Amino acid sequence: MKKSAIKQANQPLRQVILLHRGHEHSGRLAELGEQFAKAGYQVFAWDARGNGRSGGIKDHAESVTELERDLEGFVQLVIGQTGIAIEDTLIVASSIGAVLAAAWVHDYAPNIRGMILGTPALSIRLYLPFAIPSLKVARTLGLMSRVSSYVKAQVLTHDKDAQQAYNADPLISNSISTDLLIDTHATGQRLLDDAGAITVPTFVLCAGKDYVVDKQAERTFYEAINTPIKRWQLYPDSYHAIFHETNKADVFADCIEFAEEIFSTPVQAPDLSTAHLNSASKDKVDRLAIKPFNPNFAITRFAMQKFGHVSDAIATGLEHGFDSGHSLDHVYYNQPSGQNKFGQAVDKFYLNNIGWQGIRIRREHILELARLALADIEDKNQSSNKSYQPKLLDIASGHGFYAFDLLTEFTDLYAELRDYEMHNIQALQAKAQQLVIADRVVTSQKDAFDPSSYINAHTNDTSTDTKKIRSCYCFWVV
């Protein structure tokens, strides 16, 4: 169906988004797409950045996370053009594309109808001993920016015509960015470790003679995903490129059969209201709680208490608490400092801890989402006779890094900044005075977990629903 006719359709429509394997492009999945189209699905496919006709360095992305963001944007673009809901969307992906699909589902938690993962590259078989550690060392030294692919058409498919098509395709690359390969490996390990967080109906297709990826990793992932609707299919004689094999007609039929099965019942969002009592994440917490004594923690604690004063960030954490506003100031500024060169080196090591890197990334994500919300309000104000005054309620401000960034950028924004600690309230007041925006800032000492604190808030949101309050991380833009 043409895009122009999709939104006028009288019957409910279903759509499929195809994700190609590494080195390849969307055209390689044309035959699979045609089979879904014949079955009544609207079909879309992309060339990932650096692949096919898309721009960017060939087969390169800064990380799988960057590709996830691209995929989120592509899915939203498709939904915006077709009007078909996310709940009526199926993802079908191959190899590295399947890892990307699983990572997107894990990290973004879209309420899609399901996903079909063909030979997902959760653990790529690199054959050389210590391949990943060696590549990490090489990248640290600025060497080996790319890795040539050992995969030849003969180990991808038995089909001679498909082999010739692969070898003759000018859009297929023969190497991959080393950084992307390393991060794909790390993402696969992350998915294997936390597959229980995935609740989307899933069909995993495994090739019995796969020389490219580890079949046991695929099975481990399949067994761990936490969905009542899942299917595993082993094709004993198939090579890795399962959508291009001699038995591809059977593979296509199995995919469409699974799609019909999941579309035959209403989509249901998982109920996570009791996840803190019974879930894969709760199980992980419980496992950590019974782990034996780890001397590394004791040694680290002793070293920080004994020698941490040479690092400004560690000294601040020891004095005020490592989750305090004072401590997070150092994390956000990310400028190593200390009593001497050794102290600066310790400070740099501490600030580069993966946890603090995550905190800084979280800040960027929150600011990005807040800017989108505020920009949307500005657009609506321009097209409406009734102007809406944006207000921000930060329920646990600390020193207000998020809020003050937005207040500085959006001059018509007003905010109520709260915190449990009085010394943070004083810091917020001082910062507002320093930035000459005190007339747009109200500060108050309140407990974010006290439902009564939300009555008569300056945002006029009088909700006392404890579940709603506890689900809100840091601030609301209303």
Reported as type and span, the H/E element at residue 234 is strand 230-235
Count the Cβ atoms, other than its own, within 10 Å of residue 306. 8
Whether the CA torsion 328, 333, 336, 340 is positive or negative: it is: negative
Percentage of the chain surpassing pLDDT 90? 67
Fold equal for 3-263 and 376-477: yes
pLDDT of residue 325: 80
Task: Tell me the per-residue pLDDT of 365-420, one tens digit each, with 9 for 90 and over.
Answer: 889 999 998 988 888 888 888 888 888 999 888 888 889 999 999 998 999 999 98
DSSP for 312-326 reads HHHHHHHHH-TTSHH
**Residue from 20, 16, 199 nearest 91 by CA:** 16
Please give the class, per CATH, of domain 376-477. Answer: alpha beta
Per-residue pLDDT of the chain (478 residues; tens, 9 = 90+): 666 566 556 566 899 999 999 999 999 999 999 999 999 999 999 999 999 999 999 999 999 999 999 999 999 999 999 999 999 999 999 999 999 999 999 999 999 999 999 999 999 999 888 999 999 999 999 999 999 988 999 999 999 999 999 999 999 999 999 999 999 999 999 999 999 999 999 999 999 999 999 999 999 999 999 999 999 999 999 999 999 999 999 999 999 999 999 999 888 888 888 888 888 888 888 988 888 888 888 898 898 888 889 999 999 999 888 888 888 889 999 999 999 999 999 999 999 998 999 999 988 988 999 999 898 888 888 888 888 888 899 988 888 888 999 999 999 899 999 998 898 899 999 999 999 999 999 999 999 888 888 876 554 443 444 333 333 334 444 4
Q: Note the pLDDT of residue 470.
A: 32
In the chain, the N- to C-terminal Cα span, in Å, equals 39
Asked if residues 100 and 17 have their Cβ atoms less than 8 Å apart, the reply is: no
Question: What is the distance between the alpha carbons of residues 138 and 182, in angstroms, rounded to a whole number?
Answer: 11
**Residue among 31, 19, 59, 18 nearest 157 (CA):** 31
Measured torsion, CA atoms of residues 461, 367, 61, 224, in degrees rounded to the nearest 10: -40
Q: What is the pLDDT of residue 460?
A: 44
Is the Cα torsion angle 165, 168, 169, 175 positive or negative in sign? positive
**Planar angle of CA 249, 52, 96, nearest 5 degrees:** 60
Quick one: pLDDT at residue 473?
Answer: 35
* Token pair recorded at residue 149: 């692919």
| pLDDT at res. 276 | 86
Please choose, from the candidates 221, 245, 269, the residue with its C-alpha nearest in 3D space to the C-alpha of residue 86.
269
For the range 325-330, what are the long-range contacts, defined as Cβ-Cβ under 8 Å and sequence gap of 24 or more? 325/397, 325/398, 325/399, 325/400, 325/419, 325/421, 325/423, 325/424, 325/427, 326/399, 328/359, 328/398, 328/399, 328/401, 329/399, 329/401
CA dihedral 234, 238, 243, 244 (to 10 degrees): -170
Domain 3-263 has CATH 3.40.50.1820: yes
H, E, C per residue of 370-428: HHHHHHHHHHHHHCCCCCCCCEEEECCCCCCHHHHHHHHHCCCCEEEEEECCHHHHHHH
User: Domain extents for the chain?
Assistant: 3-263, 295-352, 376-477
The strand pairing partners of 415, in sequence order, are: 392, 441
Integer Cα distance of 339 and 20 in angstroms: 53
Count of other CB atoms within 10 angstroms of residue 19: 27
Predicted structure pTM score? 0.79
Q: Are 418 and 443 a contacting pair, CB within 8 Å?
A: yes
